[in-house]
Amino acid sequence: MKDYQVRLASIVEDFGAPQGGGAAVDVERYRGRVPDAVIEFWQQNGTGIIMNGYFQFCDPDVYASIMKFVFDGDSQIDAEQTHVLGFGAFGTIIAWNEVHQNVTIDLVNGQVSCQALVNGKT
């Protein structure tokens, strides 16, 4: 998970901290469910927009219903274990699954990508 911490720190270094986020994420609700690096990121930077609106870090609670919609009936990815971390301006959602880790959802093209399901490595 050290890699996640490095990637998030690099985002802040390159683009600045998110701006204009809403209420703070209830980090205790997600402790042990998302990487510790994400918890630390939320505590230090909160949520909000970066890259002039091209990407937004968010509170997973707000987008839980979208995960339910996307993964309804899916036998491999459980919506309750999948948490939206952020989304792009063009319909891409970056999420974390408690079992399979990184999940990318392309709403425009109706595609889900989860590397762990393809190569068996998380």
Looking at residue 117, its pLDDT comes to 86
Judge residue 37's burial from the number of C-beta atoms within 10 Å of its C-beta, 0-12 exposed, 13-18 middle, 19 or more buried.
Answer: middle
- Taking residues 39-47, report their average pLDDT: 95
- Taking residues 17-28, report their average pLDDT: 91
Residue 18, number of CB atoms within 10 A of its CB: 22
Find tokens 């997600």 and name the residue: 30
Confidence at 2, pLDDT banded by 50, 70, 90: low
Cα angle for residues 82, 76, 104 (degrees, 5° grid)? 45
Domains of the chain (ranges plus CATH)?
2-119 (3.40.1580)
Confidence at 121, pLDDT banded by 50, 70, 90: low
